Amino acid sequence: MKQEIPRSFIAAVGTATPPCVVTQEQALALSRAHYGTVLRERSLVLLEQFLSHPSIQTRYVAVDAIEDVPLLKTESADERVSRFTRWSVRCAAQAARRAMESAGVAPADVSSLVVNTCTGYICPGISTYLIAELGLSADVRAFDLVGPGCGGALPNLQMGDSLVRRHGGACLCVSVEICTATFQMGDDASLLVSNAIFGDGAAAAVVWDRPRGLGIVDIMGEYAPECRDDVRYVHKNGALHNRLSARLPRLITARVPPLIDRLLDAAGLSRADVAHWAIHPGGDKILSGMIRELGLTPRQQEASVGVLRDFGNMSSPTVLFVLERLVKDGVDKGQCCLLAAYGAGLSMHACLLKAA
């Protein structure tokens, strides 16, 4: 059964990162210098293997300069929350301004605001900081989604779509993650992998009711709570530690393509009808598996591969970084674009867009 004509549209996407860029070679040198006597020799070998993989070249860290990166080792819990607050607001506001400017949307035009994150908790939420930073109306509808993981940008867009359908106007959907605010180093393989692939960043999308941009045809989600321990944060001594199981790539590549097919089938489409693909690059194994299972061409995989190479996995904003690249490269009128993202939960999401 075909879906109805889109009633909300992504007008523009904006992205932002902290100023500090770190190459994988620099990350390896820092790890050796500051953790060479902390990690077991086997762990150092594994970390070197992970950091030497060509799929990621650079990542961004929420500090002012690379000289500040070693401070993460001695950062107190209070200092970590302070750094999360500073950089999440700064990057989110920058991404939002870029999206609003691209769409030609003024602060007074924003009727709703949705912010998602999973890498820090502050009360009041990031949304209240953005209201002040961006000069939004005091009666803007504001929501904070906390804990959706790497796939969080799509439930955010789903909520933005619902708000625009009901209230009209423009909704600002912001995904921001300071993954280094959960930085831990240890011999656990999950931590070694995390420290080799995750980076910091923010992305924002303006969703409005004007028939311009990328129409939101449908968004579907699926949850597998029986797989919760395969990808999640766990609390140890009051701090978050990332957990990634070895079977996660197999879970994602087995479960997400069928979800995508159900979404397309509901719209009367097939994979062949999708010209552009924004696949969350959770890591090289996950991305390679998704590319293989979906049968993507080199051109269709280029944006996801490029974002992973240049930014690493920034958790929830990452898929919007990929979408931004697709838009810049050009999405012709009538062409379809498929977004897919997944993360803690285990949660999986897919979004079908069509260029107006």
Mark 160-196 as b/e (b = at least 16 C-beta within 10 Å).
Answer: bbbbbeeeebbbbbbbbbbbbbbbbbbebbbbbbbbb
pLDDT exceeds 60 at position 178: yes
Return the minimum-mean-pLDDT range out of 83-92, 235-244, 299-308: 235-244
Provide the edge-to-edge strand list for the sheet that holds 141-146. Answer: 141-146, 110-117, 170-177, 201-208, 9-16, 214-223, 347-355, 336-343, 274-279
Residue type, 119: T
Segment 309-337 shows an average pLDDT of 97
**Exposed e or buried b for every residue in 128-137, given b needs 16+ CB within 10 A?**
bbbbebbebe
| Residue 205 pLDDT > 50 | yes
Has residue 3 got a pLDDT over 60? no
Among 294, 305, 304, 252, CA closest to 270: 294
pLDDT at 1 over 60: no
Residue 5 in this model has a pLDDT that exceeds 80: no
Determine what percent of the chain is predicted with pLDDT higher than 70. 99
Identify the CATH number of the domain defined by range 10-208: 3.40.47.10
Helix (H) or strand (E) run with residue 337 in it: strand 336-343
Closest to 277 (Cα-Cα) out of 252, 251, 249, 257: 257
Is residue 4 over pLDDT 80?
Answer: no
Residue 153 in this model has a pLDDT that exceeds 50:
yes
> What are the phi and psi torsion angles at 192 (to 5°)?
-65, -45
Q: What is the pLDDT of residue 324?
A: 98
Give the Cβ contact number of residue 309 at 10 Å: 15
Q: Which fold has domain 213-355?
A: Peroxisomal Thiolase; Chain A, domain 1 (3.40.47)
CB atoms < 10 A from the CB of 342, how many? 30
User: Which alpha helices (H) appear in the chain, and where do they start and end?
Assistant: 24-35, 41-52, 77-103, 126-134, 153-167, 189-197, 248-266, 284-294, 298-311, 318-329
Q: State the average pLDDT over residues 158-171.
A: 96
Q: Residue 237 region, left (φ>0) first, then alpha (ψ -120 to 50), else beta?
A: left
Parts of the chain belonging to CATH 3.40.47.10:
10-208, 213-355
Average pLDDT, the chain: 96
3 or 42, higher pLDDT = 42
What confidence tier does 272 reach under pLDDT thresholds 50, 70, 90? very high
20-23 and 58-61: which strand pairing? antiparallel
- Residues 109-152 pLDDT 10s: 999 999 999 999 999 999 999 999 999 999 999 999 999 999 99
Percent of the chain with pLDDT over 90: 96
Strand-pairing partners, residue 203, are 15, 175
**Phi-psi domain of 204 (left: phi exceeds 0; alpha: psi -120 through 50; beta: other):** beta
Q: Can you tell me the distance from the alpha carbon of 73 to that of 176, in angstroms, rounded to the nearest whole number?
A: 22
How buried is 26 (Cβ within 10 angstroms: 0-12 exposed, 13-18 middle, 19+ buried)? middle
